[in-house]
């Protein structure tokens, strides 16, 4: 009996954990990884190529609906047709899976844009109400005309159906109507079963971490509770475009059946409106006026996903102005990242203001601000607004406005760590930490990094190391406000030294880029009449000429297999290479292989993604597959190559990993 009670308790706790729509005390920051019609800038391949950088700053990335919309023309995904066919205008299913896996390795999850309020029809023979039959895990899922709300499109759909001998559901829509597609009847058991299977597929098969539900005003919030309880996303956020009161009510209505807690967060539209109005009216008092955003309410800030711009509010290239913030992008993001709630950064802002936003995120982390942190208004005037948020480690004071320097924070209480057009960040001196004014990253040349001690300790000094080791009282010292000249790649680690103790340690990893060669190796599990490399970089510069590129002739034996290879040069820190392997005629080819920045080993499998051959990255397997270790005097004679495929003439003083008779060998 005791064992059964323990088991039931464990199950209840498990369900309760998943019933939480958004975790409390959450420190993560989310990136909206797209903008309207961003097909060429944010396809899955290009987002994957940025994994190292993006995953260092964001714990969640929200991407567009990734299923096929029954058209090869550019589609944002908001008129979905297929659920289980994950081909979209942003990439293939294989590319989607690869991107999600690459970020997961770095601890960052993806938020799926889930569009289930409505569904587009296939349109065969002019039909309004036909849907594909999709088979997944041996079960076929297909919606029917009877799964469409009776009053869809104000009755127009019902009239069309009657004229063609068809019937819709007897149920009216439980929310707002949208004429762009057929509105689904979520009271239908068939609709529920299709959506539940789809959502579980996204989580358990594709690898998404959570959901962003589109247009949740279109159906009852109780269905969100049902879907989330079934699919168990770690994160859920709904797009409920309305007042704080109505958003709060919607969050309440998503409460689960087991834990009686909300199963979804919501986007904090009133937060966005206050920032927009402050900026566009040039009156920063708007930040403190009603309506209060969801993130300002103690009982609901956990469920507030804050933002200042998105794909529906931005100024679009097609001339539709929408509802954009017209200026002060830096100030808007500074305020966003200093407040409670979970901030969601718009991709265009990240792209255009990356350096500053990195610093803002690092400042948020330094203070330990979470989605449930407490904040307090310090000053409100037309020209500037000041608010302090107390995190787990320190209090971050954010001042934004036309003249943020006009605010006197008091040097005895705060130290300024960051500033720019329209904003200032100050940290309370009791934090006793070190601030470095250059974020982690790769840079083209030497850096000047200023270190600031935020401390109220007597005689505090800064101690630091450049090799990543923990600084001690015996480490190199410098005074607060001094700069270090970083001339080569290093990990700068610094702390506050006072009374022989070191505390408040912070680190930055700096890579100083130098042009260098990388080698791409390719092996095929199937026979190719020839092997041609078509290579281009992220600036679309062709490195092997026009398609299909350059025929490869050089090979090397690695672990008993023949690998074709080519050595190319990287010339800038943000450059990466992309590759398609084909035969000479170009009628047999691989999928695009993107984001190559170092020596890589790719194996062409016999599997296909539609008409193109799938490629596996075997670099980790090759680099860890060292057969043995030799000392120079015990070298086995024969052809020797380095990992770039270059023949080694002399092994004198040679150290490291080399290829010897097709085996990888470490020389000491």
The model's pLDDT over 277-302, given as tens digits with 9 standing for 90+, comes to: 999 999 999 999 877 999 999 999 99
Residues 605 and 655 in one domain: no
Cα atoms in the 13 Å half-sphere on the side-chain side of 634: 8
* 8 Å CB contact between 76 and 115: no
Average pLDDT over residues 459-482: 95
Q: How far is it, in rounded angstroms, from Cα 347 to Cα 174?
A: 33
Residue 471 has pLDDT above 70, yes or no: yes
Residues 599 and 454 in one domain: no
Residue 322 has pLDDT above 90, yes or no: no
CATH of the domain at 605: 2.60.40.10
Give the pLDDT confidence score for residue 500 in this predicted structure.
92
Residues 86 and 224 in one domain: yes
CATH of the domain at 26: 3.20.20.80
Best mean pLDDT range from 196-205, 323-332, 578-587: 196-205
Average pLDDT over residues 501-530: 93
Sheet with 532-537, edge to edge strand ranges:
550-551, 532-537, 577-582, 593-596
- Of 221, 245, 267, which residue sits at a domain end? 267
> Does some domain include residue 176?
no
The model's pLDDT over 333-356, given as tens digits with 9 standing for 90+, comes to: 999 999 999 999 999 999 999 999
Pairing verdict, β 60-63 and 109-114:
parallel
Q: How far is it, in rounded angstroms, from Cα 70 to Cα 76?
A: 12
Among 26-40, 85-99, 641-655, which is the least confidently predicted range?
Answer: 641-655
Give the pLDDT confidence score for residue 559 in this predicted structure.
78
Angle 340-342-348 from CA coordinates, rounded to 5°: 120
The count of other CB atoms within 10 Å of the CB of residue 379 is 16
Q: How far is it, in rounded angstroms, from Cα 641 to Cα 661?
A: 9
Residues 633 and 490 in one domain: no
Angle 341-345-348 from CA coordinates, rounded to 5°: 165
HEC states along 281-350? CCCHHHHHCCCCCHHHCCCCHHHEEECCCCCCCCCCCCCCCCCCCCCCHHHHHHHHHHCCCEEEEEHHHH
The count of other CB atoms within 10 Å of the CB of residue 241 is 14
Residue 228 CB-density burial (10 A; 0-12 exposed, 13-18 middle, 19+ buried): buried
Residues 111 and 217 in one domain: yes
Tokens 């792209």 belong to: 351
Which of 538 and 189 is assigned the larger pLDDT?
Answer: 189
User: Residue 92 — pLDDT band, cuts 50, 70, 90?
Assistant: very high
Tokens 């464990």 belong to: 10
> Does some domain include residue 604?
yes
- Of 496, 512, 528, which residue sits at a domain end? 512
Strand partners, 555: 564
Average pLDDT over residues 486-499: 95
Q: How far is it, in rounded angstroms, from Cα 284 to Cα 55?
A: 33
Residues 471 and 447 in one domain: yes
Among 3-17, 229-243, 459-473, which is the least confidently predicted range?
Answer: 3-17
Domain that holds residue 647: 626-667
Q: How far is it, in rounded angstroms, from Cα 12 to Cα 257?
A: 11
Cis? peptide before 428, omega within 30° of 0: no
* 8 Å CB contact between 366 and 434: no
> Does some domain include residue 328?
no
Residues 502 and 596 in one domain: no
> Does some domain include residue 200?
yes
Residues 656 and 603 in one domain: no
Give the pLDDT confidence score for residue 7 in this predicted structure.
33
Q: How far is it, in rounded angstroms, from Cα 652 to Cα 155?
A: 85
Pairing verdict, β 109-114 and 441-443:
unpaired
User: Residue 20 — pLDDT band, cuts 50, 70, 90?
Assistant: low
User: Residue 649 — pLDDT band, cuts 50, 70, 90?
Assistant: low
Give the pLDDT confidence score for residue 640 in this predicted structure.
61
Average pLDDT over residues 314-322: 79
- Picking from 100, 61, 79, 102, the residue whose alpha carbon sits closest to that of residue 346 is 61
Q: How far is it, in rounded angstroms, from Cα 393 to Cα 653?
A: 50
Residues 573 and 647 in one domain: no
Average pLDDT over residues 56-66: 98
Q: How far is it, in rounded angstroms, from Cα 578 to Cα 627?
A: 31
> Does some domain include residue 392?
no
Largest CA distance in the chain: 90
Give the pLDDT confidence score for residue 3 in this predicted structure.
35
The count of other CB atoms within 10 Å of the CB of residue 610 is 9
* 8 Å CB contact between 141 and 134: yes
Cα torsion through 423, 512, 60, 391, rounded to 10: -50
User: Residue 662 — pLDDT band, cuts 50, 70, 90?
Assistant: low
* 8 Å CB contact between 443 and 508: no
Cα atoms in the 13 Å half-sphere on the side-chain side of 521: 25
The two three-digit tokens of residue 452, written as one number: 């600031």
> Does some domain include residue 428?
no
Contacts of 492 (CB under 8 A, 6+ apart): 436, 449, 464, 465, 466, 484, 486, 507, 508, 509, 510
User: Residue 524 — pLDDT band, cuts 50, 70, 90?
Assistant: very high
Residue 19 has pLDDT above 50, yes or no: no
Tell me how long the chain is: 668
Q: How many domains does the chain have?
A: 4
Give the pLDDT confidence score for residue 351 in this predicted structure.
96
Q: How far is it, in rounded angstroms, from Cα 475 to Cα 497?
A: 10
Residue 225 has pLDDT above 90, yes or no: yes
- Of 211, 244, 267, which residue sits at a domain end? 267
Stated pTM of the model = 0.88
Residues 655 and 542 in one domain: no
Give the three-class secondary structure for 582.
strand
Measured between its terminal Cα atoms, the distance across the chain in Å is: 61
Give the pLDDT confidence score for residue 248 in this predicted structure.
96
* 8 Å CB contact between 321 and 413: no
Average pLDDT over residues 39-57: 95
> Does some domain include residue 216?
yes
Residues 65 and 210 in one domain: yes
87 to 112, 512, 536: CA distances (angstroms): 14, 38, 24
> Does some domain include residue 394?
no
User: Residue 643 — pLDDT band, cuts 50, 70, 90?
Assistant: low
Among 415-419, 576-580, 647-651, which is the least confidently predicted range?
Answer: 647-651
Residues 614 and 468 in one domain: no
Contacts of 247-255 with CB under 8 Å at 24 or more apart are 247/294, 248/294, 248/297, 248/300, 250/216, 250/221, 251/21, 251/221, 251/294, 251/300, 251/303, 253/220, 253/221, 253/222, 253/225, 254/21, 254/221, 254/222, 254/224, 254/225, 254/228, 255/225
């Amino acid at each position: 009996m005791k064992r059964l009670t323990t088991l039931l308790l464990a199950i209840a706790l498990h369900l309760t954990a998943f019933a939480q729509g958004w975790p409390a005390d959450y420190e993560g920051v989310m990136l909206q990884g797209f903008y309207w019609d961003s097909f060429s800038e944010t396809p899955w391949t290009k987002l994957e190529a940025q994994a190292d950088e993006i995953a260092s700053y964001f714990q969640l990335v929200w991407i567009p609906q990734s299923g096929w919309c029954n058209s090869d023309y550019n589609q944002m995904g908001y008129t979905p047709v297929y659920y289980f066919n994950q081909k979209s205008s942003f990439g293939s299913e294989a590319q989607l899976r690869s991107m999600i896996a690459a970020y997961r390795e770095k601890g960052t999850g993806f938020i799926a844009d889930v569009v289930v309020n409505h569904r587009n029809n296939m349109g065969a023979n002019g039909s309004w109400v036909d849907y594909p039959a999709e088979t997944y895990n041996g079960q076929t899922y297909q919606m029917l005309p009877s799964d469409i709300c009776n009053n869809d499109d104000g009755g127009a759909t019902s009239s069309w159906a009657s004229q063609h001998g068809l019937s819709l559901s007897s149920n009216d829509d439980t929310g707002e109507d949208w004429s762009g597609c057929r509105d689904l009847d979520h009271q239908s058991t068939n609709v529920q079963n299709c959506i539940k299977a789809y959502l579980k597929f996204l989580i358990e098969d594709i690898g998404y971490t959570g959901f962003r539900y589109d247009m949740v005003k279109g159906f009852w919030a109780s269905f969100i509770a049902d879907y989330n309880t079934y699919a168990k996303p770690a994160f859920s956020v709904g797009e409920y475009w309305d007042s704080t009161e109505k958003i709060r009510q919607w969050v309440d209505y998503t409460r689960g059946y087991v834990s009686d807690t909300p199963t979804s967060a919501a986007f904090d539209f009133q937060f966005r409106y206050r920032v927009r109005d402050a900026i566009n009216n040039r009156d920063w008092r708007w930040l403190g006026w009603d309506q209060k955003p969801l993130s300002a309410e103690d009982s609901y800030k956990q469920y507030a996903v804050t933002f200042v711009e998105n794909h529906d509010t931005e100024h679009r290239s097609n001339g539709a102005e929408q509802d954009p913030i017209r200026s002060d992008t830096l100030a808007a993001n500074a305020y966003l990242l200093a407040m409670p709630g979970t901030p969601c950064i718009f991709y265009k802002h990240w792209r255009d203001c990356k350096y500053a936003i990195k610093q803002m995120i690092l400042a948020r982390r330094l203070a330990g601000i979470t989605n449930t942190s407490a904040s307090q208004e310090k000053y409100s005037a037309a020209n500037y607004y000041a608010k302090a948020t107390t995190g787990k480690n320190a209090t971050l004071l954010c001042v934004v406005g036309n003249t943020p320097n006009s605010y006197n924070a008091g040097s005895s209480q705060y130290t300024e760590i960051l500033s720019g057009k329209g904003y200032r960040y100050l940290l309370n001196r009791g934090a006793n930490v070190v601030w470095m004014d250059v974020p982690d990253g790769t840079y083209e040349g030497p850096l000047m990094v200023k270190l600031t001690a935020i401390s109220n300790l007597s005689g505090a000094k800064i101690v630091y190391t450049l090799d990543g080791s923990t600084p001690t009282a015996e480490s190199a010292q410098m005074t607060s406000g001094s700069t270090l000249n970083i001339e080569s790649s290093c990990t700068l680690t610094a702390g506050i030294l006072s009374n022989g103790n070191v505390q408040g340690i912070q680190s930055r990893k700096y890579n100083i880029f130098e042009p260098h060669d990388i080698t791409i190796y390719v092996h095929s599990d199937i026979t190719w009449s020839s092997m041609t490399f078509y290579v281009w970089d992220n600036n679309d510069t062709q490195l092997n000429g026009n398609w299909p590129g350059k025929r490869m002739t050089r090979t090397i034996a690695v672990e008993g297999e023949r690998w074709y290879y080519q050595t190319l040069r990287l010339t800038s820190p943000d450059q990466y290479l992309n590759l398609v392997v084909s035969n000479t005629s170009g009628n047999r080819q691989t999928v695009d292989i993107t984001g190559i920045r170092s020596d890589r080993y790719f194996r062409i499998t016999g599997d296909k993604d539609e008409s193109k051959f799938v490629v596996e990255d075997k670099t980790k397997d090759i680099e860890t597959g060292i057969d043995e270790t030799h000392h120079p005097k015990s070298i086995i004679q024969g052809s020797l190559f380095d990992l770039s495929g270059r023949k080694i003439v002399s092994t004198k003083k040679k150290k490291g990993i080399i290829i010897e008779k097709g085996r990888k060998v470490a020389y000491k």
